Structure 1
Amino acid sequence: MIQDEFAMAGLYAALNPGLARAFAFLDQPGLAGLPEGRHPIDGQRSWAVVARGAGRSRAQAHLEVHDRYIDVQCVLAGVDHMGWKPRRACVLPREPFDPARDVGFFADEPDAWLDVRAGQFAILFPHDAHMPLVCPGPVHKVILKVALDQG
């Protein structure tokens, strides 16, 4: 897991060829005015999901994991109080992993909490179980999905 500010995104482009294209999405004019929902970046290799709304409580949230995609959780407004735990330490699956949706959920408690504030992002790899959208107020986010396999 990596947490940093939008201005520093270029430092992480070398980690995966798709990250540079995904981070370029954040530089577009009018980003804050984009409608909610999915926005294409590079076909099935990367896309963005714009989300606005109320956060959830810790009791309502669950740790999630992905196998094929890196999540880049970018906060435009508000604060996402995000839980984190190493995936290998998760032992309480809530349901079987869904390969079609590339998501699995765990009932484990996070080992750490981080505040991802407006103008910041968190990069979450398949080995990072994460619990996003935990916040008492509204949050406006862009979630970048970047395929591990860029071939």
Structure 2
Amino acid sequence: MELLDQSSNLSWLHGVNVFSIETHDRFRDNSTTTVLAAFPEDKFHRSQSGEFLVFSRKDVTTPDNLPDIIRISPRGSKSLSFERKNVNGAHWGFMAINDQKFQLHPNEPGEPPASIHFEISLSGHSRICARISLESDKAQPVVFKIILKTDQKTILNSEQVVYASFEI
């Protein structure tokens, strides 16, 4: 918390575009207040993911030469090929909703996770975005995992638990 206290030098935050932190007011008084003060609403979008507060900078600029958004079925080119693993064979197991969205239904707890795998070139891109949600307020939590690999190594291996009626 000392890093985010207003009496500290917060100049390092100018280089931060996304920041996530779990606060514990029960262990440290006013930790949430301290964090919120360091990320003013006029400069950062605020959201919550489980126990974590997530801040993303509003004024992020990107280079002019970035390619268009990558689509599941990029306009003017062939559709992506998906390899499905452990996906329920029912019509609701995997659905392409449109050229930008798809739905992958999770398997029951204890079963192998449903997953899709596809190759896509990210050359020239500087970020990847996804909307993850559970629409039902009665749904069990689901783990969303993304792995980005090159031929030689894994460059991102991250997972997020998504809870009922929650969107990240």
TM-score bracket relative to the smaller structure: under 0.3
User: Normalized against structure 1, the TM-score is what?
Assistant: 0.26
Task: Kindly indicate whether structure 1 or structure 2 has the higher relative contact order, using CA contacts under 8 Å at least 6 residues apart.
Answer: 1
Output the TM-score relative to the length of structure 2: 0.24
**Structure with the higher fraction of residues in strand conformation:** 1
Bigger radius of gyration: 2
